[in-house]
Amino acid sequence: MELTPRFPTFLHGGDYNPDQWLDHPEILHQDIEMMKRTHVNCVSLGIFAWAQLEPEEGKYDFAWMDDLVERLWASHIHVCLATPSGARPAWMADKYPEVLRWDRFFRPRHFGGRHNHCPSSPVYQEKVTAMDEALARRYAAHPAVILWHLSNEFSGDCYCPRCQEAFRAYLRERYGTIENLNRSWYTSFWSAMYTSFDQIEPPGPMGQESLPAMKLDWRRFSTLQCRRFIEMEKRAVRRFCPDLPCTANLMEDFHDYDYFELSGSLDLVSWDCYPAWGRGDNTETARNYAMNHDMMRSFLDRPFLLMESTPSLVNWKKVNQLKRPGMHLLSSMQAVAHGAQSVMYFQWRKGRGGAEMFHGAVMDHDLREDTRVIRDVTEVGLTLERLSHLYHAPLKRPQVCILYDWNTRWALDYAEMGMPGNMGYLETVREHYGCLYEQGISVDFRNCERFDPDEGYALVIAPMLFMFSSGIEDRLRRYVEQGGTLVMTYVSGMVDGTDQAFLGPTPYGLTDVLGIAYQELDALYPEERNHALYRENTLLEIRDFCSIIQAGRAQVLASYTDDFYAGSPCITRSVFGLGHALYMAARLTPEGLARFYQDLLKDLGILSPFPHPLPHGVIVTRRADHLFLQNYSGREVRIPTDRCWKEMIHGQTLRDCLVLPVNGLLILRSEA
């Protein structure tokens, strides 16, 4: 599947910041020579180059970039051209302090760092537009340029008076009247009532912090602010080349903006992936990042770009470990297996000084051309070339969908219930995901708004779907009625889209579908456990949360064994229409959860794409007709096989036994 009409195969390369090296022509020369040798075909250029591109207000200097674009192109290296709005020059902050952000204590920030701009500053908007148009006018039609990389890792909120006013305008538009807003924010408690929109400030430590619905609206507003900024940049760059696609690099596990929403303003999703691969067993890390990849693919339901990763180490974790041998190829191919159309790095060359001088890069300070990192990077480049046929192969629609929703995430974070601030939504989603992942079963993600009951999923899992918004209950009902299988858990369907509790039985609108009704939530201390007796002979362990439910017509699959609710239902299943709806009232430990899903997947006939059982830490992921067999277990593994396999990197035929060293990878196609 082509990402851009101008680029026919996997991208390999990374952030290139030559603006640090303009007085070192020999370095620039070595850069391009080494890019060719490492099979790099693309760089992201100019991400933080504003100070060099416009050294004085209105005086642009594109000469160095002209020269580089030509030299890169002469070596067949393409360019994702960045807009430099992620960091601005000192002269601008000095002359127009309004371009800088205000913090949540309502204090203006000073010049420095990056990602420090006010999105509603008219001056900043004008300056960014002018810069983006200038870049577009000059380069967008250049054959080397294949993609716009808008800004860098959009993040954060601004609390300046202008952004506050924009928040109030957003609320006026959303609620129409102050009475409506009061009702939706439930201000009738603690005298929180407003009599005018003008009284409203953003939520925070300086004032109102006790209205969860308000905090939720602030997050939605921040998402919208970011979207508006992206749209503004898109308009600017598109003026001169309407068909060049735009991306923005997203981040892992990001909380503050709703990425399903935000992606609506992007042509392509790309993201920055920085796992802490360690020594030994990396299975859990692999699971978490596999899930991130699947989410990124799901936002626009199409292949994505791995925009940044490190070829060796980062410099900002508590302990910065090198990638062990094999891990660079393995982790890069993990991304490809999940639908990435690129492997890109931060950054091409280590800076001599400044913020990230010790962050891993392809080229190191010692200027050597034969390092371990360079060999690893070259191996990835060659592998991507050998897999080029996969670039075009359509991705298969997974059979399983997980509902993950930013509104629920925020609402659970702000909910003072159970374990306030520590409800563990993301971790729970990961644990459910992991049960499928470990069995080689692919997963899509949808949020409430995007879930479509007719997409054909055999199984839909909605872990902790606390907030039912966009009428999700109706679509889930239809999904089950038509023959789907739904798994729901504790704390589902408790609040509506304005974060107010539904009155009446919950999960709202689905109690007849699930055949149960929720009653109470019990939270356990970390050392406490409960258990559920499952299918009459298996004891599943429970931690953190037990909800007490009343089972109506649902069949009870497991009951609590301990405490005053011993004997009451814990896992249930109901038949509704042509489908099934299962309810899990408690948080099972990972072993219990794995057991539950093993049975369910077997019942549903959802099978691993790999025909043999795999030991812990060996994961199979399918992309088109290729099976990516990945060893994260930290030890060598041998898998007996009675099939004949074609190994796709080196082209050998494998039979009898598949051998995976530590961090080993086999990309296989079945020959028989």
Residues that bind ligand GAL (CB under 6 A): 152-153, 272, 274, 308, 314, 346, 356, 359
Note the Cα 438 to chain centre separation in Å: 19
The answer to whether 438 and 619 are in contact (CB under 8 A) is yes
The answer to whether 78 and 41 are in contact (CB under 8 A) is yes
The answer to whether 156 and 261 are in contact (CB under 8 A) is no
Closest distance to ligand GAL from the beta carbon of 3 (Å) = 20
**β-strands 459-462, 400-403: how paired?**
parallel
The answer to whether 144 and 32 are in contact (CB under 8 A) is no
- 357 vs 539, beta carbon nearer ligand GAL: 357
| Residue 568 CB neighbours (<10 A) | 18
- Ranges of beta strands (E only) in 552-661 are 555-560, 569-576, 579-584, 586-588, 618-623, 626-631, 637-647, 653-660
| Residue 346 CB neighbours (<10 A) | 22
- 159 vs 345, beta carbon nearer ligand GAL: 345
- 251 vs 514, beta carbon nearer ligand GAL: 251
The answer to whether 271 and 235 are in contact (CB under 8 A) is no
Closest distance to ligand GAL from the beta carbon of 308 (Å) = 6
Closest distance to ligand GAL from the beta carbon of 629 (Å) = 29
Q: How far apart are the first and last CA of the chain?
A: 27
Closest distance to ligand GAL from the beta carbon of 86 (Å) = 8
At 558 the three-state DSSP class reads strand
Q: Is the peptide bond before 507 cis (omega within 30 degrees of 0)?
A: yes
H/E run at residue 42: strand 42-45
Instruction: For residue 302, give Cα distances in angstroms to 75, 308, 331.
Output: 30, 18, 20
Instruction: For residue 619, give Cα distances in angstroms to 460, 608, 630.
Output: 22, 10, 5
Note the Cα 507 to chain centre separation in Å: 27
Closest distance to ligand GAL from the beta carbon of 272 (Å) = 5
- 152 vs 184, beta carbon nearer ligand GAL: 152
- 242 vs 353, beta carbon nearer ligand GAL: 353
- 153 vs 438, beta carbon nearer ligand GAL: 153
Closest distance to ligand GAL from the beta carbon of 352 (Å) = 16
Side-chain-side CA neighbours of residue 53 (13 Å): 25
Instruction: For residue 126, give Cα distances in angstroms to 35, 58, 129.
Output: 36, 12, 5
Q: Name the residue with the smallest CB distance to ligand GAL.
A: 346
- 308 vs 499, beta carbon nearer ligand GAL: 308
| Residue 70 bears catalytic tag | no
Closest distance to ligand GAL from the beta carbon of 566 (Å) = 49
Closest distance to ligand GAL from the beta carbon of 273 (Å) = 10
Q: CB burial class (10 A; 0-12, 13-18, 19+) of residue 314?
A: middle
- 312 vs 469, beta carbon nearer ligand GAL: 312
- For every residue of 215-258, DSSP letters joined together read HHHHHHHHHHHHHHHHHHHHHHHHTS-TTS-EEEEEETT--SS-
- 132 vs 272, beta carbon nearer ligand GAL: 272
Per annotation, catalytic residue among 54, 233, 261, 308? 308
- 86 vs 569, beta carbon nearer ligand GAL: 86
The answer to whether 630 and 327 are in contact (CB under 8 A) is no
The answer to whether 119 and 228 are in contact (CB under 8 A) is yes
Closest distance to ligand GAL from the beta carbon of 637 (Å) = 31
Per annotation, catalytic residue among 153, 233, 431, 473? 153
Residue 359 CA to residue 357 CA, distance in Å, equals 6
| Residue 379 bears catalytic tag | no
Closest distance to ligand GAL from the beta carbon of 360 (Å) = 8
Show which residues are catalytic.
153, 308
